[in-house]
């Protein structure tokens, strides 16, 4: 089986939207520091680009959670693979994710982080698939709402491939 990649969102459109989001986030946290929690692996590309454009003081930590394995659909089983290195109690925390699909992973993650008593907890995602949602998740900042197609690029992968594409593409499988 092989696959083709069809461009869904161009590199230029992504860069423009990240700049807009950074301005909105910087305004919200004006006068305060924001602690970014990047959700690995896919979220690291978006987190770095967003962090470079924020005008408020930033600190960054990483978490790795999984509900996919080597499939194109969420398994529904969430596991923490790598936890935070630093405590978040009393911090303004912004979770930065590449994509929100069913909402299971992010719902679990947000509840987990909320229990650690941050000063504030908000969620930012580059991509959102609202029609796939099975668990309600409040998203504070969304780059793009996309249709229910399997996407890669800008950190998102298909079996660990295509993360480095500078755009968002749709995987089209060939028999």
**Each residue of 4-27: pLDDT tens digit?**
999 999 999 999 999 999 999 999
pLDDT at 74 over 80: no
Non-local CB neighbours of 172 within 8 Å, separated by 6+ positions: 3, 4, 5, 6
Query: Taking the model in full, what pTM does it have?
Result: 0.91
47 class by beta-carbon count within 10 Å (0-12 exposed, 13-18 middle, 19+ buried): buried
In DSSP terms, which residues pair with 71 in a beta bridge?
Answer: none
More reliable by pLDDT, 144 or 133? 144
**Per the residue annotation, which of 98, 101, 128, 157 is the catalytic one?**
101
- The residue extents of the domains of the chain are 11-149
Q: How far apart are CA 34 and CA 120, in angstroms?
A: 9
More reliable by pLDDT, 173 or 14? 14
Mean pLDDT of 134-138: 91
Q: How far apart are CA 75 and CA 77, in angstroms?
A: 5
pLDDT band (50, 70, 90) for residue 174: confident
101 is catalytic: yes
CB atoms within 10 A of CB 162: 18
Provide CATH code, domain 11-149.
3.40.50.2020
Residue 131 in 3-state DSSP?
A: helix
Q: How far apart are CA 30 and CA 152, in angstroms?
A: 33
DSSP state at residue 31: T
Q: Is residue 90 within 8 Å of residue 118, measured between CB atoms?
A: yes
């Amino acid at each position: 089986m092989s696959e083709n990649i069809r461009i869904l969102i161009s590199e230029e459109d992504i860069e423009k939207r990240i700049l807009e989001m950074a301005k909105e986030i910087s305004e919200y946290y004006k006068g305060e520091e924001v602690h970014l929690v990047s959700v690995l692996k896919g979220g690291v590309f978006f987190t770095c680009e967003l962090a470079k454009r924020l005008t408020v003081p930033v600190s960054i930590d990483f978490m790795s959670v999984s509900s996919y394995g080597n499939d194109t659909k969420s398994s529904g089983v969430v596991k923490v693979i790598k936890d935070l290195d630093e405590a978040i109690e009393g911090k303004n925390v912004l979770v930065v994710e590449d994509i929100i699909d069913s909402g299971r992973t992010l719902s679990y993650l947000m509840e987990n982080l909320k229990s650690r008593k941050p000063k504030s907890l908000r969620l930012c995602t580059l991509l959102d698939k609202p029609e796939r949602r099975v668990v309600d998740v409040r998203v504070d900042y969304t780059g793009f709402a996309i249709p229910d197609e399997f996407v890669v690029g800008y950190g998102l992968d298909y079996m660990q491939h295509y993360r480095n594409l500078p755009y968002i593409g749709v995987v089209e499988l060939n028999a």
